Every structure is written in C-alpha cells, then in structure tokens.
Structure 1
C-alpha cells in the first residue's frame, strides 16, 4: 500500500488543535466513511509522513482507535482495519437496529419543525450528490442525515453508542462505496432514498412506529446487500 493510497482524504493537522487529537479525529472520520480497505495495514511511519507529524501522536491515535475496536493493533504498534465477515456484519447490524430504531422512535416525539426541514434538505443534498457521482460525499451526507435524526432523540447515551457502532461499521462502508461507485446511475440508490423520504414523512407526522420501521428497513436493506458482498454473491 503506497503512502498516496494510505493518505487518501487525509490532510496535515492544523496547529489550532492538539496534533494528537487532530490525527485521531481525521483517522476516525476516515474510518467511519470507509476510506480504508478491510484488512489494510496502517503503519506509524507512513501515517506520520502523511500528517506531517512525529510518530508519537500517530501512535497515540492508533491506540485510541484500537481501544474503540475500530482497529486491531499489532505488537509492533502498527494497526490494521478489521476484516469483514457476514457474522460480524450481522452482529453490528443487530445492535444498530436496536439502538437506531429506538433513537428514531424517540426523535419522532422530540424533533422540531426546524430539524425536520433540515432533514428534508439533507435528503435533497444526498440525492443531488449521488447524481453528481461523488460516492464519499454521498456517504457523508447519508451519515449527516442519520445522525441528525439521532441527535433529535435528545439522548447522549444513544448517540455515543450509535457513533461507536458506525465506527466499527467502517470496513463495510468501504465495501459499499466500492460496489456503488461503478453502478451510479443504475438506480441502485433508489430503495434507500425511498426509505429516507418515508422516515422524514413519518417524523413530520410524529409517527414514531412508522419512522422506526423505515429506519430499520434502511439498515437491513444495506445489510442484505453487504451480506452478499461478504459472501461473494453480489453481481
């Protein structure tokens, strides 16, 4: 893996924040949206060169991500992205269904009209980015959409737990982006867009059960596709 590939989407760290936190947050965000391949090795030397830092903040960032189960750390301090499997995918998605379904249900009771309007704009932005063929920007907007809903639940505990699950879901996002990229324009995204519209409509009506049902369908629909990819069955 070349340093150019390893550093895709990463930038030198600003001095306005601590270097260690800057490295950690950039790596964390990159992992969540699937910037790294499952099983990909990330060496301290290569990352330090990419970020323009000494090895120490990189080593600390990798340690923190290892503690969050986002990376697996080797004895020499290097790290690799966890491999994917259908069993691990099902385990993560089972937890996502429980937590994100609950957060969506709570959001239906607590969301404001302003927040609903923001969700409508995020759905439009997500679809327009898809039309432009920007896969990672599309995945970022998808994340913004989901977390705007979970924030409306007003539950800090649920937000923290869901954020941790999305971090562990990162390798599957990489698989998803690799599958979607050559298929943009084929209508692949339409079932998921329909769920997004249905979720917003249910939240607007403050229909908690309907919102939860469509959120779960959104999660399990992606899970079904990813399961086929894990098992090599997707065309």
Structure 2
C-alpha cells in the first residue's frame, strides 16, 4: 500500500504531467508494493482529477517498463524476482560504474561540496527514522555524481534503471525501516565516503570500484529478501 496519500496536482504543470511525475517519483522511491494493482478510479480520486490524465500517465510508465497494464486498464507494479534483480543490477553496475569513473575526471571542484552535503544528509536521515527521506538523499547523492559525468545519455539510462528498480526499493525500505539506528547503513556510508575521496583525487578506477561495491552490496541483501519471499 502507498504510505502517504497522493496530493492534488499543481497548476504550474499540466495535469497529465503532474500525475505522471508524482506517480513516477512514488514508484522510483519504492512507495508501492511489488505486485500492487493501481486502479485508474482510485488514483483519479487521490489526484482529484478525471480518469484521462491518470490513464495517460499509466501508459507512459508502462512504456518505461515501470508498470504492467492489464486488459481492464488497471496497472500493476512488477513483481520481484532474483532473476530480474540480477538483470537490473548488471546494467546498473555497467552504467553507473562508467558514469562514476567519467565523473572523477569531469567533476568541477565546486560540485564536490554538494555531493558531500548529500552524503551527510543521507547519514543524518539514517539516524532520523524516516526511511523514505534516507532513500531520497541516497538518490540525490548518486545522481549528483552521475550528472557530473556530463553524459546526458548515461544519466537518462540510469534514471530508467532506477525506475525499474522501484519494487526492490520497496523491499529494501520495508527491511530497513525497523532497523534504522542500528548501524545497518554503515557499510554503504563507508562506500560513499570512499567514492567522494576518489572523486577528490580524480581517481576514476577507485571511484568506480566503490560505486560498484555499493550497488552489489545492496543487491546481495535484496537477493536474500527475494529468496525469503519465494519460500
């Protein structure tokens, strides 16, 4: 189930775009359960819109492989599996590792403090108890690095992968939420510090190595969760 209600769409964007971007953000941050059915009528009620913009938003998200559309027009969040997880993570390792390595050579000195600030905010939210804030700050940290690669193509492809990774973020958040403050995040925080250190030294190989370790460390945890759910 969605933990927080969806809000009315701002008049500063088209209604269709507003619905799309709110749903996309909810999916990418793992706010829907794997396999959850999203009906047009329920979403239209949450957004306080007609059915048309919701239907169009669901079609757009299905085209991005973030949702699966049933014959009756409702949408379903993809179910999780070890095979799908490994497929996504294999692509993440390739693309995010490359973007990080490139960023080590292209990041501007004035951009590094912003990356460090996101890292600090991620660590602070880890102790603060809001798992979604923590995951959002983690995303901010990662994408500040990927954008520093100056590769529009890589950033777009990585963003698409994170969208498809949404159901696994939901599993991760459910696992992490009751364990916040126990030090569970520390191995990942260590990789973040190592990545920033490598960026400062412009050491692309080291930056890539620790980014890959960050991704695969989470992948191993999620593999265990997927296997446990399948039993």
Query: Which TM-score applies when normalising by structure 1?
Result: 0.96
Moved more, 9-18 or 163-172: 9-18
Aligned with 2:137 (options 141, 153, 157): 141
- The equivalent residue for 1:179 is 175
Give the conservation status (yes or no) of the 8 Å contact 1:7–1:50. Answer: no
- The equivalent residue for 1:122 is 118
- The equivalent residue for 2:76 is 80
Per-residue deviation, residues 34-89 of structure 1 (Å, max 9, x unmatched): 00000000000000000000000000000000000000000111001000000000
Give the conservation status (yes or no) of the 8 Å contact 1:9–1:30. Answer: no
Give the conservation status (yes or no) of the 8 Å contact 1:62–1:79. Answer: yes
- The equivalent residue for 2:55 is 59
- The equivalent residue for 2:209 is 213
Unaligned runs of 5+ in 2: none
- The equivalent residue for 1:151 is 147
Deviation at 1:8, TM superposition (A): 2.2
C-alpha distance in structure 2 between counterparts of 1:7 and 1:123, whole Å: 25
Per-residue deviation, residues 160-179 of structure 1 (Å, max 9, x unmatched): 10000000000000000000
Give the conservation status (yes or no) of the 8 Å contact 2:34–2:80. Answer: yes
C-alpha distance in structure 1 between counterparts of 2:203 and 2:124, whole Å: 27
Unaligned runs of 5+ in 1: none
SS in 2 for 1:231: helix
- The equivalent residue for 2:198 is 202
The answer to whether structure 1 residue 95 and structure 2 residue 75 are counterparts is no
Give the conservation status (yes or no) of the 8 Å contact 2:5–2:46. Answer: no
Deviation at 1:7, TM superposition (A): 7.0
Aligned with 2:186 (options 190, 209, 221): 190
C-alpha distance in structure 2 between counterparts of 1:158 and 1:68, whole Å: 16
How large is the RMSD of aligned CA atoms in angstroms?
1.0
Deviation at 1:9, TM superposition (A): 4.8
SS in 2 for 1:14: coil
Alignment length, in residue pairs? 229
- The equivalent residue for 1:222 is 218
Query: Which TM-score applies when normalising by structure 2?
Result: 0.97
C-alpha distance in structure 1 between counterparts of 2:200 and 2:115, whole Å: 10
